[in-house]
Structure 1
């Protein structure tokens, strides 16, 4: 929040974990019963909608803004705190209006931080994107026993609840696991796993 006074509630007013799951399940059932189809994480569309068609064809894409029918490797971020994406790298503008305007008025490109992906980053990025868009991914690195054991350990809570399968070829998310696709995908992201246990990560996402 820009100003604390804009927030008229505290954490005690928010639904707890089991309540959030119940709300999601109720909303999902209502949408499916109304003729919508699931096209990705928390997204639904009518069968004749472009997103649903792209999902069926396997061409749906996801970027910072959500799901789209257009896959473009270049996304230019304009404005305060926006993030630009060149597929092999990311760059962010200043998050404060004053700092952003100062850079722009000085004729400078308003970038404050960025990241250049390694080859491993790009492989994992592709796999995460496939999970987010199609609920499955092929990942050759899982043929390596240590890599597979690491991913399985990170997904132990999900596997115990029969939400997915992990093989040497990749990950397949079962229908009952789709609501947890965010943390399933996070199992591949080394950047978020600094001393975090599978139980902590699973609980944090609910």
Structure 2
């Protein structure tokens, strides 16, 4: 390998001593909860918000002078992974790609008409689906269109990322996307255990990931992320520790270790997973405990929830400086950008609104073919929504919330204004999930694991009975 981890870890043989770990308490607070990639969450979006609301927000946002963040959703996948809960189109054929790229360009044109062309595009993210389903020439075409419509950046501080399926890429892919301006990549791994891979229909030998990582290091990509999932069929604490040991040796800058949420009633592919093969609650907690212990011992900083990063990574720096942001792709070091989502199901966060495109390709195509932006639903936030979004975002990103600072920002008495949330946090404070010092609330070690529960205290849109995923 081009780079090796400094700390060697081996699979644990006994119970790990994670600070603050209290299994009984974790189980009691392990409820269904939003992930708060937005507030209010997408469940509050409504169809009464459409194209005109979105274009008005785009135009209002020009006065802010904020930089832009662009997200492109590429929905195509060659094979279906049974765990997947994303919006995707499974196909072996490449015929649908060109029409989709053409409609993306129409959306770019219609969107860019309402934006000041001098606004810098600091952040670019291609997600899916499988962005590397596209051919190299199609990737080039799409970047050219983006540059023509928005003006892409060559600044060394830009954050241009693409999600990569190692089964759908090789070293030539990496060289090409680097030439296109991408400087950060995210590789989907999920698990290196063959039995687990078979159960989720994603056979992916380690050598595929390792080869790409070696080339990425050689090419000098600024940051490399690996995605893992815990809670999959046949996983155990020891089997996942073996995967972690191999991953730590690969030394990625960032790791996202997602909690698998089994919701077959919502996501059809998950019906192919036998529920009896999933690890039980005790084993799943043991896997999480093992993960935190091993990654911490290897020198990674637990950013929050499912994100870990090396101490020199920009996410850690942003968290230390209080500028970390949470968006639909997770944690981001580029705060104060207006996010424009392009493609089927994509969500924008611009000025004081959220706007989402249709989740079905036919609806997306029809709107653009008729010369309209494909905004299907959304929401304009009230002042109360904005204040509570501020509180939730700082709590999720800083693992702390200073109500005096919030009050100064919004010209309110923070404690009085959010008295309902303060009251709801009292039980969590008694149980040791959060510590209050004056008007500052700080999540404890165990509270960081329950940060979604703490954030719920500020949520006045919470829809009980909805099919949120469990926290742990």
Q: TM-score interval w.r.t. the shorter chain?
A: 0.7 to 0.9
Q: Is the 8 A contact 1:37 1:47 kept in 2?
A: yes
Q: Which residue of 2 aligns with 1:109?
A: 373
After superposition, what is the alpha-carbon deviation per residue over 1:143-166, rounded to whole angstroms, capped at 9, x for unaligned? 229x53x32554465334311135
Of 400, 416, 419, the match for 1:144: 416
After superposition, what is the alpha-carbon deviation per residue over 1:113-156, rounded to whole angstroms, capped at 9, x for unaligned? 111111111111011110111101123465229x53x3255446
Relative to 1, partners in 2 of residues 1:91 and 1:107: Cα closer, same or farther, differing over 3 Å?
A: same
Q: How far did residue 5 of structure 1 move?
A: 5.4
- Whether 1:122 and 2:399 are equivalent positions in the alignment is no
Relative to 1, partners in 2 of residues 1:193 and 1:110: Cα closer, same or farther, differing over 3 Å?
A: closer
SS in 1 for 2:338: coil
- Whether 1:65 and 2:329 are equivalent positions in the alignment is yes
Q: Is the 8 A contact 1:143 1:168 kept in 2?
A: no
Return the alpha-carbon distance in structure 1 between the equivalents of residues 364 and 471 of structure 2. 32
Return the alpha-carbon distance in structure 2 between the equivalents of residues 5 and 123 of structure 1. 38
Q: Is the 8 A contact 1:61 1:71 kept in 2?
A: yes
- Whether 1:84 and 2:354 are equivalent positions in the alignment is no
Q: Is the 8 A contact 1:73 1:87 kept in 2?
A: no
Q: Is the 8 A contact 2:352 2:381 kept in 1?
A: yes
Q: Which residue of 2 aligns with 1:205?
A: 471
Q: Which residue of 1 aligns with 2:460?
A: 190
Q: How far did residue 13 of structure 1 move?
A: 3.4
Q: Which residue of 2 aligns with 1:18?
A: 282
- Whether 1:169 and 2:439 are equivalent positions in the alignment is yes
Return the alpha-carbon distance in structure 2 between the equivalents of residues 124 and 21 of structure 1. 30
Q: Which residue of 1 aligns with 2:320?
A: 56
SS in 2 for 1:24: helix
Relative to 1, partners in 2 of residues 1:18 and 1:158: Cα closer, same or farther, differing over 3 Å?
A: farther
TM-score (norm 1): 0.83
SS in 2 for 1:144: helix
Relative to 1, partners in 2 of residues 1:190 and 1:20: Cα closer, same or farther, differing over 3 Å?
A: farther
Q: Is the 8 A contact 2:304 2:449 kept in 1?
A: no
Q: Which stretch has the larger CA shift, 135-144 or 169-178?
A: 135-144
Q: Which has the larger radius of gyration?
A: 2
Relative to 1, partners in 2 of residues 1:188 and 1:16: Cα closer, same or farther, differing over 3 Å?
A: farther
Relative to 1, partners in 2 of residues 1:171 and 1:5: Cα closer, same or farther, differing over 3 Å?
A: closer
Q: Which stretch has the larger CA shift, 118-127 or 47-56?
A: 47-56
Return the alpha-carbon distance in structure 2 between the equivalents of residues 159 and 21 of structure 1. 22
Return the alpha-carbon distance in structure 1 between the equivalents of residues 344 and 284 of structure 2. 31
Structure 1: tracts of 5 or more residues without a match: none
Q: How far did residue 69 of structure 1 move?
A: 1.3
Kindly tell me the number of residue pairs found equivalent between the two proteins: 199
Q: Which stretch has the larger CA shift, 96-105 or 9-18?
A: 9-18
TM-score (norm 2): 0.39
Return the alpha-carbon distance in structure 1 between the equivalents of residues 306 and 322 of structure 2. 17
Q: How far did residue 7 of structure 1 move?
A: 4.0
Of 440, 451, 467, the match for 1:181: 451
Return the alpha-carbon distance in structure 1 between the equivalents of residues 319 and 275 of structure 2. 36
Relative to 1, partners in 2 of residues 1:22 and 1:54: Cα closer, same or farther, differing over 3 Å?
A: same
Relative to 1, partners in 2 of residues 1:143 and 1:23: Cα closer, same or farther, differing over 3 Å?
A: same
Return the alpha-carbon distance in structure 1 between the equivalents of residues 298 and 359 of structure 2. 40
Q: Which residue of 1 aligns with 2:305?
A: 41
Relative to 1, partners in 2 of residues 1:195 and 1:82: Cα closer, same or farther, differing over 3 Å?
A: closer
Relative to 1, partners in 2 of residues 1:167 and 1:91: Cα closer, same or farther, differing over 3 Å?
A: farther
Relative to 1, partners in 2 of residues 1:153 and 1:11: Cα closer, same or farther, differing over 3 Å?
A: farther
Relative to 1, partners in 2 of residues 1:5 and 1:129: Cα closer, same or farther, differing over 3 Å?
A: closer
